[in-house]
Amino acid sequence: MSTMERPLLVKLRRFAIVGLMNSAIDFAAFTVLVYLGLAPLFSNLLAWAVAVIVSFAVNSRWTFVRSHKFHLGKAFAKFAFSGSIISLGSSTIAVWLLPPLIGVFPAKIVGIAIGAALNFFAARWSIEDRLA
């Protein structure tokens, strides 16, 4: 089977594996930055930036089949833009609103989980240039 014929379930499984790794990177970077004294919202932004670079590198080589129109800079811009709306948006809202209710670290986990659930199609759009 060629990589162009990679089944959707294989892509979903690989995306989940990368997502778990990426979530661990995001959470670890966030934790270190908060413990170093940076504000949670700023720590969230920096941790997300590290995680999105790793996520794009792995997903664009292993999870998805690159579109014939794939251009590294454009694909990364689409990936980072959609990720900023989905992942960064959900984790920022969670880190901003939920700490008084559940604490800053559980809030970060909630934000990561919500973003991960939405990111598959955004990543597929940016790398494979399709949504369906």
pLDDT at 123 over 60: yes
- pLDDT tens digits, one per residue of 45-98: 999 999 999 999 998 889 888 777 778 888 888 888 887 888 889 999 999 999
Give mean pLDDT, residues 90-117. 93
| Phi-psi sector, 34: left (phi>0), alpha (psi -120 to 50), beta | alpha
The predicted pLDDT at position 18 comes to: 93
Q: What is the DSSP string of 1-53?
A: --GGG--HHHHHHHHHHHHHHHHHHHHHHHHHHHHTT--HHHHHHHHHHHHHH
Domain residues of the chain, as ranges? 3-128
